[in-house]
Amino acid sequence: MDLGIRGKAALVTAASKGMGKATAMGLAAEGCRIAICARTAADVKAAAEEIRSKTGAQVVELTADVTKKDDVDRLIQRAHDAFGGVDILVANCGGPPRGNLEEMTDEQWFGAFEVSTLSVVRLIRGVLPSMKQKRWGRILTIQSVSVKQPVPGLLLSNAVRPGVAGMFKTLSDDLGKHNITINVVCPGKIMTDRLLGGARQMGLSRDEFLSKAGLDVPLGRVGTPEEFANVMVFLASERASYVTGVALQVDGGLIRGNV
């Protein structure tokens, strides 16, 4: 299937590892020009080189922390300078820390809002002018299944991420008339460094941990970043032109609710 996005310009944040990197790789494989960022210069450079070598895509990399307004402004400007605008935005960022109510300070609450919500707001503001001018755009954010169902031990994530879904649903009304779709994608148990860190915490081998982690997933296993990225690339494509305002979980059936 031709996804209709060859030549489109995509900006993927926090793209040096995991789901962000896999999504950037998937978009590049479909012929997109790619701008990526991460906080560590060596990591983002290595990711860019890997994407170029595997796909032949044009890749622009930048060291940036999307929780910082100046970094976001610089990132958007770099993408505009390189590509003349952004057609596809994948707003991705690390999540808030674990912990319960008694452990969390006011600063951590503000930080959770900044990392999960405000970073996305700033990125959307930056890319909208070129999308509106072209009358075509795809806006995606990687959040969590905590949008649909609270995850034990993740109070901050459970509190702020559903608000992002509410914002996206609201924006779908405003952006639809410009032929811009906007969707939240909610990963469940995906094989990332963050998930695999649980093996060390539990004193298990990697295989033991993955086997245990997949027990409550109907498909019986943890998903791969590439499986997650396949959904992202479809939603970013011309083929998903009638999908907007949704919060879609990619979780192997982990979430049991009907919506």
pLDDT of residue 166: 97
Given a contact cutoff of 8 angstroms between Cβ atoms, the answer to whether 189 and 222 are in contact is yes
Q: Mind listing the pLDDT tens digit for each residue in 97-114?
A: 889 999 999 999 999 999
Q: Can you give 84-136 as a three-state secondary structure string?
A: CCCCEEEECCCCCCCECCCCCCHHHHHHHHHHHHHHHHHHHHHHHHHHHHHCC
- pLDDT, tens digit, 9 for 90 and up, residues 213-253: 899 999 999 999 999 999 999 999 999 999 999 999 999 99
Assess contact for 174 and 131: CB atoms under 8 A. Answer: no
The string of pLDDT tens digits covering residues 160-198 is 999 999 999 999 999 999 999 999 999 999 998 888 787
The predicted model scores a pTM of 0.95
Sign of CA dihedral 39, 9, 7, 29: positive
Residue of 50, 9, 12 lying closest to 185 (CA atoms):
12
Where would I find the beta strands (DSSP E) of the chain? 9-12, 33-38, 59-63, 88-91, 137-142, 180-187, 247-250
Per-residue pLDDT at 199 exceeds 80: no
Whether pLDDT at 258 is above 80: no
Query: Tens of pLDDT along 118-135?
Result: 999 999 999 999 999 999
**61, 45 in Cβ contact below 8 A?**
yes
CATH topology of domain 9-188+225-250: Rossmann fold (3.40.50)
Query: End-to-end alpha-carbon separation of the chain, Å?
Result: 28
- Tell me if 55 sits within 8 A of 41, measured CB to CB: no
* SS3 category, 258: coil
How confident is the model at residue 194, as a pLDDT? 83
pLDDT of residue 156: 95
Could you tell me the residue ranges of all domains in the chain? 9-188+225-250, 191-222
Share of the chain above pLDDT 90, in %: 86
Cα dihedral 10, 77, 59, 140, rounded to 10, equals: -20
Q: What is the mean pLDDT of residues 20-43?
A: 98
Residue 205 has pLDDT above 90, yes or no: no
pLDDT of residue 257 exceeding 90: no
